[in-house]
Each structure stands twice: as C-alpha cells, then as structure tokens.
A = this chain, B = another copy of it.
C-alpha cells in the first residue's frame, strides 16, 4: 500500500528467542496516526515470554519491545496532541475497542470489547492481530525497531527532560506501579512495601517514595540493600532474616508484589497491617498456595490484581516522573541481535540492574545497513 514505511528491526527468528535482523513495513500514516522514529526501547521480561512462545504460539519473525521512546517525525491530518518534533512514548498496547465500559472509563488495558479485527481486548504492541484492512494478515510488531506508526490516542507526550534512555522503561514498568498506586490512594505517611527489587520493583520504590510513602523493600538478596536505600527505601527487609521479618510483621498498608517466580504469597501477606492490600502484578506460574479465605476476612486484607494502566494514567505517570526526575536504572546496549541475545539471557537470570534499554536510533539502522551490505558483498 502506498505510503508504507520500511522499518528495520531486531526480531525473534523463531521460538528459540534468538534474534535476527529483519525488515518489515509499518502502515502508512492515517489521519489520527503519528510516526515515531524510535530512539530507545526497553527490554521487558514479557518480551522474552512472548518471544519464546511461553504464552502461546507466535508467528515469526516477531519483533518485541513495548517500552518505546522516540521522535515524532510525521503526524496525520487529524492529530491534535502531537506535532513534529515532539517526543512520543508507546507502551504495551496500541489500540482497543474504545467503546466498552472499561475503555470509556480510561482503562483500555482491561478492554472488554471486540476490535474491528474481531480480537477481544486491547491490541498489544506486538504479536497481536492487526486490523485486516490496514495490514492484511499482519500482526503487530514492537519496539526493537527503527519506526512505529501509532494512533495518537495510544501514545503519550514525553517531556523533553525525559528524552533519554532511562525513561523508556516508564512506559511499561513505570505505569504498572503508578496506576495501582494512584488507585490505592498512596499519600504522605502511608507505609508501602515493595516485594521483589527488579525492573518493576525498583520503579515502584521510586514512585511510591515520590508519592509520599514510607517505603520498605522486601528482598531475598542482601546485596540489594544498599541500592534499595539509594532509591528511596526507608527500610529493607532481607526475607531470609527471621528477626527482620518479625520486626516488619503487620507494618505496611500496601504491599506491591511484583515477584514473577513461584513464591509463598501468604508469607508476604504477613507484612500487611489489618485492612491492608497486596497488589499483585507478577505472573507466577503456580496457583497461590495455602491461602484461606479466613486469612483475608479475619484481618480485612485484600489481594488486588493489576495490569499496566490506561492511557490517561500513563500520561499522568510520565508527567509525574518528569516533575520528580524519576527514571529507571538501566544498562544501555547496542541494538544488535548479539547484544539483545545476551540481554535476554541475563534478564532471565535476573542479572540486570534494573532494565536493559536498546540504543536504537544510534545503532540499529547503521548496523543493519552495514551487515546487509556485507552480506550482499559475500553473496
């Protein structure tokens, strides 16, 4: 179709998750679309689960990445929020039905309607079916790429101060804690615990702190105590230390549980005061063990599941982070298949402090072209 945009990417070649260079077309800019030249793209653990087919069979090559930051280089005729030269951000989804109760109330992440392509729920930034008439047979492709075209309603305006690689992870990790924190009404003086100090957890510490909470970090790793304090924690409990655990029993109003591995959730409930809430955002593979309804009822405890955040909340999060200078702690890596392969390996081993970000604009296009040229020469 005319006006389509050739896009270079790093994509999973197959369900092994091994990366390759791959080019594909983005749709032509529609009246309500913006075209973002991607600068930075964060690496989320979900990319790995999805890329390796843990969450169902995928079509390859598949370009993952849903923490996307870049320059708006073109806007459709109906676009109101952006102009060329702005910085735009794209998170975990790029469309939703826009008509269901959840969408109308700004919770597009819980869209319960049916998209024009027959898909139920939101359209993920990658690996979801595209609108058939726009991209026949196509699926969405994510942010480990040079360009993205997205409806302006599914992009956020990023203040210039956040035009840096450390801001990319806000688009997923940031909103995943900001949204439930705002819903829970975190206010000065409230005691909040964060369980699991990884990509999500370290953002949760920073954001809860700036919302005024007194933050306790619960971690298995004594090695993380120092950095947790540096991020704003007032207290760190090493969960293997019985005395520390005992001292922190029933001490917090809210516990943000972002542990993705199997873990004893009832143990973490013990840190809540009566009437406290545990927010769960992780996706441990096993069912919750040994949780009795009476444990919740007797102390008035809640377990609240939460996923991402809506577009309005995402914009508020970005503005909040800009105002308070909150960004992620990252390792910036070149956008090459080799570097991403290593990043994924290390992410799976939790060997990253605390997020990998691809230096896309600086490296992807150039590297892609050089290798293509080399390949052409060889053949």
Mark A52-92 against chain B: 1 for CB-CB distance below 8 A, else 0.
00000000000000000000000000000000000000000
The answer to whether A104 has its CB under 8 Å from any CB of chain B is no
Q: Closest B-chain residue to A105, C-beta based?
A: B275
Task: Using A292-B287, A297-B280, A297-B281 as known contacts, say yes or no to A275 and B102 having CB atoms under 8 A apart.
Answer: yes
Which residues of A (281-307) have their CB < 8 Å from a CB of B? Answer: 281-284, 286-307
Contacting residues, chain B, for A296 (C-beta < 8 A): 280, 303-305
With a cutoff of 8 Å between Cβ atoms, the chain B residues found around residue A301 in the complex are 305
Q: In the complex the two chains form, is B293's CB within 8 Å of A284's CB? A: yes
We find that the number of chain A residues with CB closer than 8 angstroms to chain B is 39
Interface string of A96-133 (1 = CB under 8 A from B): 00000110000101101000000000000000000000
Tell me which residues from 301 to 316 in chain A have a Cβ below 8 Å from any Cβ of chain B. 301-307
Known: A288-B288, A300-B307, A307-B298. A293 touches B265 (CB 8 A): yes
- The reply to whether the CB of A209 lies closer than 8 angstroms to some CB of chain B is no
A273 within 8 A of B: yes
Please give, as numbers and ranges, the residues of chain B lying within 8 Å of A293 by CB-CB distance: 257, 265, 280, 282-284, 288, 305
A274 within 8 A of B: yes
Contact A273 B306 (CB under 8 A): no
Residues from chain B with a CB closer than 8 A to the CB of A299 are 110, 305, 307
Distance A280 CA – B297 CA, assembled complex (angstroms): 6
Question: Nearest residue in B to A304 (C-beta to C-beta)?
Answer: B302
CA distance A78 to B27 in the complex (A): 78
- CB pairs A–B below 8 angstroms (11 shown): A101-B273, A280-B296, A282-B293, A287-B289, A287-B291, A288-B293, A297-B306, A298-B307, A299-B307, A300-B305, A302-B305
